Structure 1
């Protein structure tokens, strides 16, 4: 073999002069790098092995320096002998348009060139690198790039040594406590010896001659930091005088050594009373192998500075038996017979079968944790007994049932927490305090858990008076549910409402439990209507059906409230002011049956929402009251004379006559009373969080309609006319225009589209179900109605009607006749 020629071809990373004119692949002007811009440069471009013999599989190992982001590489080659001045782009199955997949610049990329089928010859290569997602500093016909590197390689017709096979390495992922073990290269001759070098990709640094030549390599990695390394094994025949006759490469990764730490260490129960049996529950975090524990204790009062090693059954030299790090270990300390004192403890942990990171006279270990505990003489809280738990292994959708602690005081209540030993995570406050715990495990992942129940004595105001621990396992088995009944619920429009998180389920064995449910979507209360939801429950092979009825969030209609709110409707009942009984509050069915007095209060401006009736009580100067629909819970909400009352959701809006009729709001529980404007306000209408009202004038040509937001901002005039009566309905304002002899007009809420609807003086307007009801003052106040476009005029009754209230097809009104004090009702046929 020509040694001079081999020395050049086997040079691992030939630092060649840049080639300045190879079909524009590299341009000398493009080699200038401005210091202000950080761009990647190729630091390594080496064959997987040498010698490279015709017919070998081979690849280039490539890495970058001077950059920390992601990069891509592009490779070109030529042979002056067979290709002349023509260059070819290397494009294998792992590349796109000749570019490798994105890789971290501080990692290696491997470009397979086996498919080139290179014959024995001299080859020139050029490799380009670019940042991912950033336009390259330079550009040519092959695209943009940041830097380029030329080099040469030789393919031989035959070689004296064969390093084409796989490197026989113990693994490719290491920690600093590991050894790198290499037994050779598959297919190499038995007399080949090997020598180790490493290239630190991250720091662009060679570590050479790490071993002498030998039949195998065993090298400790304890001095290596984390990162990617190229293993470069030189090979030569035994007895050869050459520095090397070939090499073989492999990428390895060194990761930071993961040491176990203590997850929890807790007593079985507190308070720890003198004479109690007790033990420590111990878990590990940040490690997944097997571990062992060692415990020490001391008491300054009785032991001075002396520490004692705790030896319990099953321990050897104070160490527990090897145990999976994800499984809790119990160390019994009952035999220590600890007296009422303050104690210091220390716990140590080590990986089973691996030398610990630290060492002292008690042996090696990986981590230590000090902690303290106090033993008391006596306590009124006793949680020393057995936890009354139904079992210790549960199905995925089981109920965790705990009936307390044996021997605990009567009246002790319990609260549940779980510690996830696998994921080192506390699941806190899973229940409130209660006499027994019955908790659905459906949403708890399979695994091992420490059950931690807090105990609190009857009448105690402490967060807890003690605790009791146990361990359980949750498997992935599913208990079958036989049936879940459909659910019917109702709520109010625009109220905050969440679907139930549990449903009542019956299992195949007949037992019942509330189980977690996942619904197909969240509930919206934006629109009135009936909505159906489908829910899934673990263990139930059907779907749970829930029907939600969203009811109007108003206590009454605008039209009724503008006419004193004499009647209101809710869930089949009509609530009304009984004119035949001094205006007292009554309710009756829609057909007039089951007439029932609710309150002796003379009531107008009646609103009904949920289980409450809201009204102005004229036995108490018109102040705002509420009473439940069954006549209980009568409550005064304010001290204002309140008119034009509108209950919308959680708020009540009203005109405060005691303050000149100004607009106020107050919560339905009587709190957060607030003034919203300084205008004398009548005919309050509320739509989409905007309040519309008439600004009442003592005289003049205008009595305009204004609007203001429900928070009191955004006051603006909407209608300039002298308005006698009005109602907002679905984006339109219908009003009696006293500027035009009280004819009915309509206009959009933005003030546009003003339209006259009739030619008769009209008062007491009530818009309902597509009709406008009104009193025709030209005909002595007879009750009429027209369509919303002014058509289909129809006289309902010859009665002179005022204060027109409408519920469905029933029209309620007072007579204008002075000697008629009754509340009239008439049913309108379509």
Structure 2
């Protein structure tokens, strides 16, 4: 279950564990400053791509560079290949690791500078972390391959996969007060049970923070995983799942089955590339879109080429813009306008009289026709049928 207010205990844990505000060290330039540094994975072993989740207080574009010093050997390692690409300073960001570290304790130095800065760095912040030997965390919750995606759409839920117990926290950097930007999961539950915990309400960059532990563990957590995700505006279309991509039935072709996440698949058409699929009921009794696509394709290749389009007509309102009884005796010249950008997809009648789609003197696309009788606007409105 998600709770939107962070408890004092949890807030203390987040700060103490590094997932919180960081007080930057003194630097040559006052801005930008690194305000957030947290290990992207806490159960880091030799061979893992260890990095940090970062954020600054800067409204413009920034670049980061990360160095790490082994506290025993004093050897320095660069975790990024020079400065990263330019990113929005106030968005959370996890740089790509280019240097896997040997086991040991480390102190990281995170540099940041603004776009166009010629300084070595504008400011920096520090953080401590450890890399353990391979297999060190074997007895703890599995935090690899949790199924988090890079991109979501508005209204989509965050779902994770795994065999242990999890908490799902999500940070929205657009909230002015950092603590209020966190949506906090109050209780541990199975991966499947987290599916109804959080849905994205608006586009933007978010930081997803998954805590995990074994069901019998007494720990607050075994470890956490951080991931930055991008949320885009919803297309309004259902998600497509590739049920099957069978290359064994026909030579050099793939028999494809696509299932849509909707109870009304008949309101959509599905294609793979230029090949349109047909809606059928498969052996499992599911309504799926089936077709044969040229080439031997994997499920991932099919998914990348899937296109879903709505065939259902939107619900539109109409306005009777004119009911003119002065032009023709005992007849009414009628104009009806629909609240849609695609009026050509509709037919309009007044009673049994079909109207024609034309462009009127004002440049508007309206349905025009002559109806028998002298009718008022209200009388016309009562007889309009839009299909």
Q: Please identify which structure carries the higher strand content.
A: 1
Choose 1 or 2 for highest CA Rg: 1
TM-score by length of 2: 0.47
TM-score by length of 1: 0.23
Q: Please identify which structure carries the higher helix content.
A: 2
